[in-house]
A and B are shown apart, each in its own frame.
Chain A
Amino acid sequence: MSLEILILDDETIVGERLQASLEKDGHSLEAFTSPREAIKSLNEKVFDIVVTDIRMDDIDGIKILELVREKSPRTKVIMITGYATLEVARESLTKGAFDFIAKPFKIKEIRGAIEKAAHALQMEDGG
């Protein structure tokens, strides 16, 4: 299943690490370091999966989560964080995040979460 995925992390290295690997899996990827640029793209297009960092200078990932959930409830949002706290995990999940992943992570952990999200999307789409 080829998916439209948006990745947002203000650290360039995260998008770089994920881009090559996920494109190899046949997914179409847009990686952003600027939340504002990502929001622009989210307003123009519907993604299957959004992977976003939670804490960024400009706009936090929870706001991105809320925006995605409002615009496209079908989209699965995977939250990643370098500042894991119970409150952040709880808020992410109660606001409808599909998964919560603390850094450091291996690519296969994100790939696993994306596979699970793809499976959930398939089930919801009746496939």
Chain B
Amino acid sequence: MRILVALDQDMRSAHTLSQVTQLLVNTWANVTLLGIVPRKSDDGGVPMDFVDTMNQYHKAVLQGFAAEDLPYAPADDDYEIAEIRPGIYEKIGNTHGGIKELTVRIRVGNPTQTILEEAQDCGSDLIVLHGDMDSQQKIATKADCSVLIVKKERDTGRILCFLDDDLLSQRSLEMITQMAVLFNAEIEIAGLTDKQSVEEKIEKKLDWLIHYFNGKGIQPWIQLVALSYLEPFILEQDHWSLVTMWMGETSIFKRLFSVNKVAKLLESRKSSVLLLR
């Protein structure tokens, strides 16, 4: 698994990083910590305070591991930030050389564009960002991979998954399983139906999903939700710590929800949101 964590100097980034570190401790994923700055400093480089912040983030991730379990190269105070391509800076030093890669990068430019470009460049399976980032809704709707938007600090004891008649990818199911294991969380699946055309399809898919999760020792809770009631239903679900939605090309969320609606939905939620692709 390869994870891209988008970070800024907001306090929420530190919380997001602590959540990601939990995921990294379990998965030993290859990870890129990506800092975004809108423009270069007056001397034509990256603002030094931001470089310091990224260095602190790097150290915070490593400190989440016991020394004997560290899959990444240990941090080195003797490092430099080099411009590897125009507008893309990378911490050079002891960041490579572990069993897994931990890359620290800073990109200058528009946050949405730089995050999406970096996700493409590194081939990320998951983009993680905090819920106060201005670009969250654009990333959520435009990314090719899954996106986790981390909201308020709370125990992730329950995961609510919305299921429609779109094709489920193996990758998205694997992502949910990892989240359930990571947070020791219960899974509830809400099958979305208009009671005419999709009900049979959804029921078949729910049966298949129950079988899939049971085979993995997970017993999901199941319910059906009418499409006409979808929006208020979502807004009622804030007691869930993590809400996941499939966002495939033909998914209901993609078909029925405009970018603005997704934006509103993401902004209004207190739960973290995982958009699966």
Residues of A within 8 A of B (CB): 11, 13, 55, 57, 82-86, 89-90, 99-106, 108-109
Contacts and interface: CB of A to CB of B under 8 A. Distances in A.
| Interface size class of chain B, counting residues whose CB lies under 8 Å from the partner chain | 20 to 34
B26 interface: yes
A82 B177 contact: yes
A102 B1 contact: yes
Given A82-B216, A108-B123, A103 B28 contact: no
A108 B101 CA distance: 14
Given A83-B216, A84-B182, A109-B2, A104 B174 contact: yes
Given A89-B28, A90-B69, A105-B1, A84 B125 contact: no
B226 interface: no
Given A104-B125, A105-B1, A83 B181 contact: yes
A83 B28 contact: no
29 contacts: A11-B170, A13-B170, A55-B216, A82-B174, A82-B178, A82-B181, A82-B216, A83-B177, A83-B181, A83-B216, A84-B28, A84-B178, A84-B181, A89-B26, A89-B69, A99-B99, A102-B26, A103-B1, A103-B174, A103-B177, A103-B178, A104-B125, A104-B171, A104-B172, A106-B2, A106-B125, A108-B123, A109-B1, A109-B2
B216 to A, nearest CB: 7
A84 B69 contact: no
Nearest to B22: A86
B210 interface: no
Given A103-B174, A103-B177, 9 more contacts: A55-B216, A57-B215, A82-B174, A86-B69, A89-B28, A90-B69, A102-B1, A104-B171, A104-B174
- The secondary-structure label for the interface of chain B is helix
A102 B69 contact: no
Contacts of A57: 215
Contacts of B237: none
A59 to B, nearest CB: 16
Contact of B175 (A55, A100, A104, A108): A104
A104 B192 CA distance: 25
B25 interface: yes
